[in-house]
């Protein structure tokens, strides 16, 4: 068990403090750029963590996630454009306060509510993750196979409007994961005599290509111009205001906990649910939509809580529940770290660094948030081509440092184009990324199960955990199909009546 002296040694013997503050700063800057989501911000820095100490690398990624969740509220309040998906609910009342000349107050409420949510989420992460991870000790290869199938089915059914498109995207990801060396026999496959493919396709290349490069291609056709004022200053709320906001912040924290534990939930769902519940329980519901302080506090507390609680199923079972946690899982696997109880036993320094680094980032968020606002205003005011050029250079230089291979650059560009075409055809990219990330676990567990049973498929129904997980996967698929059927029928009835 980690003691105070262990934490003190961690702070003094490692560069954890500068790493946490650097990650937080980069996250806020990335989150403040409209269209550059938390997952893209994390994906941009992921290649640079390749040569870092694993504990510092994971702490850096977690702090970037925390910073991006707050940074997204800055353009949401100032220019009515959420920097991240989870900041969309903040637009409703945040921009209204800005129009009333209270932008600094709105930014201060967003910052302090984010800190409250982050502290609550970190406490839940520290309390729940390790106990839940011990459940994984009862898992057999069949159980891990079923767990991977469940993760893919949940994300596929909750990403986009079509289950079939989500499943098709996941299958493409699984196909990419089979490129390279067979995990059981050691035979090379699908390499087409290309030496660079012998070790397979790096998940980080897929993430950067499908997240960052696809977003750059999508933004290249946009002509929107955004401008921020240059004299904005954050005004932190006083004790009286914090007392007024405590109910809405509590609602955001508990709904953020629930959504963080739910695969496919995410910060945007938690933010809108919290906004609705805060209005329901508010003493002044008529102010919502017209500049309510509670309408900022609830969603900001929720999405910042999710930034920590979403790591609970990731660290316990290895199942990411959002784009951002998928990137963090890629970082773990890139450094040879497998989520679960063995991570807590064999690499406790990684967990300690993640917890302590996150705490440092949350505490520093108040000072950094106040100081970095002018830089965010300046950055968002830069012409779009300059911003895009800087981000593209960052992407390519980061990818090249992985293996010093131009092949990785070409592969990422090809995947970026593929992601752009998928976006045009309304295919979700997250199931594809999870297919790549979870593909090795799914295939190797499936193959090991058949080796143990001598090719008898009954082994999958003899394991009660596998049966339960596969049953849950089937439930999500059937539920998604039923939902699509109801929506299609409702649309048809509306067209008939009109």
Task: Quote the pLDDT of residue 223.
Answer: 57
* R_g (Cα) of the chain, nearest Å: 22
Angle formed at CA 67 by CA 246 and CA 401, multiple of 5 degrees = 165
Looking at the chain, the whole-number percentage of residues with pLDDT higher than 90 is: 5
Mean pLDDT (whole number) for 423-447: 82
User: Does 266 score more than 70 pLDDT?
Assistant: no
User: Does 120 score more than 90 pLDDT?
Assistant: yes
Which comes out higher in pLDDT, residue 319 or 58?
58
Task: Quote the pLDDT of residue 22.
Answer: 92
Quickly list H helices, 383-463: 384-403, 406-424, 430-453, 459-462
Distance of alpha carbon 337 from alpha carbon 349, whole angstroms: 12
Task: Quote the pLDDT of residue 231.
Answer: 58
CA 404, 407, 411, 414 torsion-angle sign: positive
pLDDT tens digits, one per residue of 4-54: 555 555 555 567 888 999 999 988 888 887 667 777 888 888 888 888 888
Which comes out higher in pLDDT, residue 60 or 345?
60
Least confident piece of the model among 34-38, 39-43, 92-96, 453-457: 34-38
> How far is the CA of 259 from the CAs of 272, 335, 339, 452, in angstroms?
11, 28, 20, 37
Task: Quote the pLDDT of residue 13.
Answer: 53
User: Does 134 score more than 60 pLDDT?
Assistant: yes
- The DSSP bridge partners found for residue 180 are 189
DSSP 8-state assignment for residue 213 = I
Please enumerate, as own/partner, the contacts of 98-105 that have beta carbons within 8 Å and a separation of 24 or more: 99/291, 100/291, 102/291, 103/77, 103/78, 103/229, 103/232, 104/232, 104/233, 104/234, 104/235, 105/235, 105/237, 105/293
Burial class of 127 by CB neighbour count within 10 A (0 to 12, 13 to 18, 19+): exposed
In contact, 354 and 62? CB cutoff 8 Å: yes
φ, ψ of residue 11 in degrees (nearest 5): -70, -35
CB-side exposure of 275: number of CA atoms within 13 Å? Answer: 26
pLDDT class of 407 with cuts at 50, 70, 90? confident
pLDDT class of 332 with cuts at 50, 70, 90? confident
User: Does 460 score more than 90 pLDDT?
Assistant: no
Conformational region of residue 263, where left means phi above 0, alpha means psi within -120 to 50, and beta covers everything else: beta
Distance of alpha carbon 68 from alpha carbon 41, whole angstroms: 7
Task: Quote the pLDDT of residue 180.
Answer: 85
Among 80-84, 132-136, 359-363, 463-467, the range with the most confident prediction by mean pLDDT is 359-363
Average pLDDT of every residue of the chain: 80
Which comes out higher in pLDDT, residue 10 or 455?
455
φ, ψ of residue 189 in degrees (nearest 5): -150, 145
φ, ψ of residue 181 in degrees (nearest 5): -105, 135
Task: Quote the pLDDT of residue 469.
Answer: 83
User: Does 59 score more than 80 pLDDT?
Assistant: yes
Among 14, 26, 92, which Cα is nearest to 54's? Answer: 14
Distance of alpha carbon 280 from alpha carbon 288, whole angstroms: 10
Packing angle, helices 103-133 and 348-381, rounded to 10: 160
User: Does 2 score more than 60 pLDDT?
Assistant: no
In contact, 30 and 40? CB cutoff 8 Å: yes
Task: Quote the pLDDT of residue 8.
Answer: 56
> What DSSP assignment string belongs to 60-87?
HHHHHHHHHHHHTHHHHHHSS--SSGGG
Which comes out higher in pLDDT, residue 59 or 373?
59
Cα Dmax for the chain = 72
pLDDT class of 136 with cuts at 50, 70, 90? low
Mean pLDDT (whole number) for 124-144: 78
Task: Quote the pLDDT of residue 498.
Answer: 64
Helix (H, G, I), strand (E, B) or coil at 77: helix
Task: Quote the pLDDT of residue 81.
Answer: 67
pLDDT tens digits, one per residue of 274-317: 887 888 788 888 888 888 888 889 889 988 898 888 888 888 87
Mean pLDDT (whole number) for 139-165: 76
Distance of alpha carbon 297 from alpha carbon 255, whole angstroms: 13
Distance of alpha carbon 43 from alpha carbon 211, whole angstroms: 7
pLDDT class of 453 with cuts at 50, 70, 90? confident
In contact, 146 and 473? CB cutoff 8 Å: yes
Task: Quote the pLDDT of residue 63.
Answer: 92
Distance of alpha carbon 232 from alpha carbon 78, whole angstroms: 9
Packing angle, helices 294-309 and 90-99, rounded to 10: 140
Distance of alpha carbon 95 from alpha carbon 291, whole angstroms: 8
User: Does 438 score more than 70 pLDDT?
Assistant: yes
């Amino acid at each position: 068990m980690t003691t105070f002296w262990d934490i003190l040694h961690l702070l003094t013997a490692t560069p954890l403090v500068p790493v946490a503050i650097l990650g937080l700063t980069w996250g806020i800057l990335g989150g403040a750029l409209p269209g550059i989501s938390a997952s893209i911000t994390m994906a941009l820095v992921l290649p640079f963590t390749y040569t870092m100490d694993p504990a510092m690398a994971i702490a850096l990624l977690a702090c970037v996630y925390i910073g991006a969740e707050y940074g997204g509220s800055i353009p949401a309040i100032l220019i009515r454009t959420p920097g991240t998906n989870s900041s969309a609910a903040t637009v409703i009342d945040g921009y209204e306060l800005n129009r009333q000349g209270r932008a600094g107050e709105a930014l201060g409420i967003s910052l302090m509510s984010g800190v409250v949510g982050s502290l609550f989420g970190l406490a839940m992460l520290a309390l729940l993750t390790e106990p839940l991870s011990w459940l994984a000790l009862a898992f057999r290869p069949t159980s891990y196979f079923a767990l991977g199938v469940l993760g893919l089915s949940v994300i596929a059914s909750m990403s986009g409007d079509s289950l079939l498109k989500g499943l098709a995207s996941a299958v493409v990801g699984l196909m990419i994961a089979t490129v390279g060396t067979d995990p059981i026999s050691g035979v090379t496959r699908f390499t087409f005599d290309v030496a660079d493919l012998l070790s397979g396709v790096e998940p980080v290349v897929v993430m950067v290509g499908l997240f960052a490069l696809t977003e750059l291609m999508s933004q290249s056709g946009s002509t929107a111009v955004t401008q921020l004022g240059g004299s904005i200053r954050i005004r932190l709320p006083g004790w009286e205001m914090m007392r007024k906001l405590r109910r809405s912040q509590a609602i955001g924290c508990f709904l953020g906990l629930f959504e963080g534990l739910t695969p496919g939930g995410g910060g945007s769902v938690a933010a809108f649910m919290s906004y609705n519940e805060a209005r329901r329980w508010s003493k002044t519901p008529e102010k919502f939509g017209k500049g309510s302080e509670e309408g900022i506090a609830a969603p900001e507390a929720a999405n910042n809580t999710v930034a920590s609680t979403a790591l609970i199923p990731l660290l316990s079972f290895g199942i990411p529940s959002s784009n951002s946690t998928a990137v963090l899982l890629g970082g773990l696997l890139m450094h040879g770290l497998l989520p679960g109880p063995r991570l807590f036993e064999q690499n406790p320094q990684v967990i300690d660094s993640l917890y302590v680094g996150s705490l440092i980032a949350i505490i520093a968020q108040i000072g950094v948030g106040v100081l970095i606002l002018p830089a965010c205003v300046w950055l968002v005011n830069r012409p779009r081509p300059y911003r895009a050029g800087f981000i593209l250079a960052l992407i390519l230089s980061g990818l090249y440092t992985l293996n010093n291979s131009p092949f990785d650059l070409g592969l990422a560009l090809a995947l970026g184009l593929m992601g752009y075409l998928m976006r045009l055809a309304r295919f979700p990219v997250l199931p594809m990324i999870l297919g790549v990330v979870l593909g090795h676990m799914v295939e190797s567990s499936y193959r090991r199960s058949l080796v143990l049973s001598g090719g008898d498929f009954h082994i999958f129904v003899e394991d009660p955990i596998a049966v339960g997980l596969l049953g849950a996967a089937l439930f999500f698929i059937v539920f998604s199909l039923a939902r699509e059927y109801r929506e299609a029928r409702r649309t048809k009835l509306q067209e008939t009546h009109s």
